[in-house]
Structure 1
Amino acid sequence: MNTVQPIRDREKIEAMKRILRGSSLRDELLFTLGINTGLRISDILALRIKDVLKDKRVVERLELREKKTGKGRMVVFSPKTCRLIKRYLEEERVNAHKDEPLFLSQKGGPISRQHAYYILNQAARYAGITERIGTHSLRKTFGYFAYKQGIDLAMIQKLLNHSSQAETLRYIGITQEQMDQAVMKIDL
Structure 2
Amino acid sequence: MTQPKDVQPIRDQQQLEDMKWALKRHCSERDYILFVVGCETGLRVGDLLKLTTKQILDLKGKQNKILRVKEGKTQKIRDMYIANCFQEVYDYAKNVQSPYLFPSRKGERPITPTQAYRQLNKAAEFAGVEHVGNHTLRKTFGYWFYKATKDIAMLQRILHHSHPSVTLRYIGITEEETNNVLKTFSVFH
Query: Into which bin does the TM-score normalised by the smaller protein fall?
Result: 0.7 to 0.9
Give TM-score, length-normalised by structure 2: 0.86
- The answer (yes or no) to whether the contact 2:120–2:134 under 8 Å persists in 1 is yes
- The answer (yes or no) to whether the contact 2:39–2:140 under 8 Å persists in 1 is yes
Greater mean alpha carbon deviation, residues 154-163 or residues 22-31: 22-31
Q: Give the equivalent residue in structure 2 for 1:170.
A: 169
Instruction: Find the aligned partners of 2:157 and 2:49 in 1 and give their Cα distance.
Output: 22
Instruction: Find the aligned partners of 1:103 and 1:136 in 2 and give their Cα distance.
Output: 17
Equivalent residue runs for 1:98-177 within 5 Å: 100-108=99-107, 109-130=109-130, 132-176=131-175
Question: Post-superposition, which runs of at least 4 consecutive aligned residues in structure 1 deviate over 4 A?
Answer: 55-59, 180-185
C-alpha deviation, 1:18, in angstroms: 1.1
5+ residue gaps, structure 2, are: none
5+ residue gaps, structure 1, are: none
Are residues 1:76 and 2:81 paired? yes
- The answer (yes or no) to whether the contact 1:42–1:113 under 8 Å persists in 2 is yes
Instruction: Find the aligned partners of 2:41 and 2:155 in 1 and give their Cα distance.
Output: 11
Instruction: Find the aligned partners of 1:128 and 1:52 in 2 and give their Cα distance.
Output: 32
C-alpha deviation, 1:177, in angstroms: 5.4
C-alpha deviation, 1:179, in angstroms: 3.9
Equivalent residue runs for 1:11-90 within 5 Å: 11-22=14-25, 23-54=27-58, 57=61, 60-79=65-84, 81-90=85-94
CA RMSD for the aligned pairs? 2.2
Give TM-score, length-normalised by structure 1: 0.86
Q: 2:80 aligns to what SS in structure 1?
A: strand
Q: 1:149 aligns to what SS in structure 2?
A: helix
Code of the residue aligned with 1:107 in structure 2: it is: K
Go from structure 1 to structure 2 and tell me whether the alpha carbon gap of 1:180 and 1:150 turns closer, same or farther (over 3 Å shift): farther
Instruction: Find the aligned partners of 2:153 and 2:178 in 1 and give their Cα distance.
Output: 17
Instruction: Find the aligned partners of 1:144 and 1:16 in 2 and give their Cα distance.
Output: 16
Q: 1:137 aligns to what SS in structure 2?
A: helix
The share of aligned pairs that are identical, in percent, is 42
Instruction: Find the aligned partners of 1:16 and 1:55 in 2 and give their Cα distance.
Output: 27
Go from structure 1 to structure 2 and tell me whether the alpha carbon gap of 1:128 and 1:177 turns closer, same or farther (over 3 Å shift): closer
Code of the residue aligned with 1:16 in structure 2: it is: M
Number of positions where the alignment pairs a residue of Structure 1 with one of Structure 2: 178
CA shift digits 1:157-178 (9 cap, x unpaired):
1110001100000000013451
